[in-house]
Amino acid sequence: MICSACGKPAADSQRYCAFCGAELRALARVEPQPAPHNWLIPAPDQEVILIGRDPSLRDTVHCFLDHPAVSLQHARIERRGDQWFAVDLNSSKGTFVNYQRVSPGPVGQPLGPDDTLWIAPYAFHLRTEGARSELQPAHMRLDAVDLRRQVKVGRETQTILDLRQTPLAFVPGEFIALVGGSGCGKTTLMRALNGQAPAQEGQVLIDSRPIIEGANTQPFAALHSIVGYVPQDDVMHRDLTVIELLTFVARLRLADLTAAEISDAVDKTLVAVDLSQHARKLVRFLSGGQRKRVNIAMELLARPRLLFLDEPTSGLDPGLDLEVMKLLRGWARGQGVTSTGEPGDPKTIVLVTHATENIELCDYIAFMERGGRLAYFGPPHEAKRFFYPEREPEQVTFAEIYLRVATGPAPVAAAADSWAEVYQQSAYFERYVAGRSSQATSTALTLPAEMPVERRLLPTRPQVTAGLRQFGLLAGRYARLIGRDKMNAAFLLLQAPLVALLLAAVSTPQALRPAGALDAEKVLFILACAAVWLGIVNSTKVIVAEQDIYQRERLYGLGAAPYVFSKIAVLGMIGLVQMILLVFFIGLVLLLPDRGLMAPIQMEYFITLALTVVAGQALGLLISALAGTTDLANTLMFLLLIVQVIFSGLLFEPSGLAEIPASLTISRWSLQALGSSTDLNRLLLGVMPGYDWNAAYSADILHLLGCWAALLLYATGCVGLACWRQGRK
C-alpha cells in the first residue's frame, strides 16, 4: 500500500501513514468472534478428527497444523453420542478449551460451538456442518484496556502504570516502541502486556479475546508457546557455539520436533538473523550486535506471533542499533522471513527502548510520562509536531522531546496538568487511539475471577517423560559447558590429589596405623572436611550465576526438578571422580588399615567420601537457589564452611541446643563413618591410656550404615528443597 499524501510505502494492516499520519483506509469495526476460516468442521459421518503436525494428516479429513509448537499427534476431537469432546494426546504444549488446559488422557473435555479451542497459534471453534477451509494462525492483534498498576512505597501507594481512558492497540505488521524517561512505566507496561507482572486493573486482549484481566493470567498459558520475550541483557550461555546454543534452546522449547526438524529450524533461523557465517563461533567471541541477534534468534526459533523486546539495542553503537532495528522492522512486516516458511506473514512486535537515533523506523511509538501515563501514541514523525507545534519537525530531536515531557506541558497548554491530558484532548488521540481501538475493546468479555486448576500429588506419565527429556538435555549441556572451560575442568580434577599431597605434608605415613594413631582423628577430620568443602565450593554459584537464564527457560516450559537434578547429576559424577582420586592418592601417601567393617577399607572410604561430597554439593545448590546474588551466596558459603569445622565433633563436643546444628552438619556424619571404618576407638585406646571410648566411632556395621543413610538423607533433603525453591521463582 502507498500513502496518497506523501507517497511512502505502508503495510496493509496500517490505517494511518507512519510518516505523515494521513489516513490510509477505514478500520472496520467487528464483533469479537472468530473469522469464518477459524471453524473446524468434520466431514459427513466423521466421528474423530485428529489434529497435529504429522504430514500424513495433510489433505485428509483430519486437521494438519504446520507450527513447531504443535505435536505430531497433538489432539483429537471425537463424538460421543450427541456431544463432542476435545482429547489431548499428551502434547508438550497443551490443548486449551476456553483458556483451560485439557488434562492429558482419554477423558477429554466437552466441546461446543461457543467454546474456543486453542492449539499453539490456532484458535478455532467446532462446527458440525458447512464447507471446510484451511485453518489460519491467529493474527495476534493486541489490545490494552484501562490498565492500572500500583505499588507500595513505604506507607503510601504509588501508581506506576495508568492507561485508563487510553486503550492501546498493537496490530500485526506494525513495529511499535515504548519510549520515555527512566521510571515512566515502559517496562511495567510491557510486563503487564506479556503477563509477567500483570496490572491490578484492566484487560489485555488478543484478537478481541481477553487473556489477562486484573491479576488473572491463567488464560495467557494458552499462548506461552507462541509469545516471545527478549530480555534486555544477553541471557545465554557464552561458552557454547551459536549453533549449539540454538540447538539446545530448540530441543528444550520444541521438544516434539525430530533432530532433522530441529536442525532445519536452526539453519533457517540463522539465515533470518544473518548469522549463518558465525554459526560455529563461541557466543563469547561475537560482537555486541551479533549477540543481540542471537538473543532474538532464540525467540524466532518458535515462530512466535507476538514478540516483546526489552532494550534490544542497549549498549550498541548507532550502526549496530540501526542494523537490529531494520531487522525487527522487516520481521514485523514479514519481509525476508521466507527462510522460516512464513513469507509475508506479519507479526506483532513491541519493544522498550531508550535509544532514539533510529526510532523513526518504528511505525508507532508510545511515549510514557511519570506515573505510567500515556503522553503520546502515534507515528514518530507526528510526535515532533505534537510536542513542538511551534517548530518544524525536522528541527526537533527526540532528546528535546524527552526534556519537554519531563518538564511538563506548561509551555504548550498551561491549563493541563500533564501531557496525558493534553494528548487526550488532541486530534492525535482521536486518530491514533480512539480510531485504532476496535469495538471489541469496549465490549470485551469478562473472565471468571478464578479458573479451576487441577492439582496432582504425583506427576502424570507425560510430565515424567518430559521431565526426563529435559533432565538429559540439561545434563548434557552442563557437562559440555564444564568441559568447554578446560582450565577449570583440570583444576576440578587436581583438587583431590592436592588435598592428599597437603595431608601428606603435615602427617606421617603411619597416621592410620597404631604407630601414628595420635594423628588418626585429625587425618579423618581433614578428609571429611575436604570432601564436604569441595562439594559446597564447587556448587554454591551454579544456580545463582545463571538465574536469568533459568527464568528465561522457565518461559519455555522448563521444570524446576529436571533443572536441579541435572546439576546434581553432573556435579555428582565429578565428585565421584574426585573421591576416587582422593582415596587413590591417600593410599599412596598413607598406610591404610588392613580392612574395613564389611568391605575393603578403600571401598568404605570411597562410599563415605562420595556421599559426603554429594551432600556438600546438594547443600551448595540449596544455598545457590536461596541466594539472590553471587555475593550473598559467597557469604553463606563461608559461613557454612565454618559450621562444618565447629560442629564436626572433633574440636568441641556439642551439647544442649548445639546438638541441633551438629546433627545437621555433614562433616560430623562423615567423620563418624570414617572413624567406624577405621575402628578409631581401637587405635586410640592403644596409644592414649585412659581414652574414653567414643560411641560416634563405634566399629559397628549398623552404625556405619546409619551414618551413610544420614548423608544420603541430607543430600536428598537439600536437593528437594532446592527444587521447591526453584519452582517458586
The reported pLDDT for the residue numbered 341 is 43
Q: How many CB atoms lie within 10 A of CB 361?
A: 17
The reported pLDDT for the residue numbered 648 is 87
Q: For 142-441, give the CATH class.
A: alpha beta
What is the percent of the chain where pLDDT is above 90? 43
pLDDT band at 8 (very low <50, low <70, confident <90, very high): low
Q: Is 322 exposed, middle or buried (0-12, 13-18, 19+ CB in 10 A)?
A: middle
In what order do the strands lie in the sheet containing 83-88?
63-64, 48-52, 75-80, 83-88, 109-111
The reported pLDDT for the residue numbered 665 is 93
Q: Is the pLDDT of residue 651 over 70?
A: yes
The reported pLDDT for the residue numbered 445 is 46
Residue type for 45, please? D
What distance in Å separates the CA atoms of residue 540 and residue 620, rounded to the nearest whole number? 4
Q: Where are the domains of the chain?
A: 36-126, 142-441, 461-727
Task: Find the radius of gyration of the CA atoms of the chain.
Answer: 32
Question: Across residues 205-226, what is the average pLDDT?
Answer: 80
Residue with cell 501514541: 377
359-370 pLDDT per residue, tens: 889 999 999 998
Q: Is the pLDDT of residue 441 over 50?
A: no
H helices present in 108-258, as ranges: 186-193, 242-253
Closest CA to 162 of 382, 353, 375: 375
CATH number for the domain formed by residue range(s) 36-126:
2.60.200.20
In what order do the strands lie in the sheet containing 373-378?
227-230, 306-310, 348-352, 175-180, 364-369, 373-378
3-class DSSP state for residue 144? strand
Name which residue leads in pLDDT, 7 or 28: 7
Enter the C-alpha cell of residue 525: 577430620
Residue type for 315, please? G
Question: Across residues 330-341, what is the average pLDDT?
Answer: 61
Q: What is the mean pLDDT of the chain?
A: 85
What distance in Å separates the CA atoms of residue 150 and residue 162, rounded to the nearest whole number? 9
Q: Is the pLDDT of residue 452 over 60?
A: no
Which residues fall within 8 angstroms of residue 611, CB to CB, at 6 or more apart?
670, 673, 708, 711, 712, 715
In what order do the strands lie in the sheet containing 96-97?
39-40, 122-126, 117-119, 96-97, 100-101
Q: Is the pLDDT of residue 440 over 50?
A: no
pLDDT band at 26 (very low <50, low <70, confident <90, very high): very low
255-310 pLDDT per residue, tens: 888 899 999 999 999 988 889 999 999 999 998 888 988 998 998 898 888 899 99
H helices present in 138-202, as ranges: 186-193
Q: Is the pLDDT of residue 20 over 50?
A: no
The reported pLDDT for the residue numbered 533 is 93
- DSSP state for residue 432 in the 8-state scheme: I
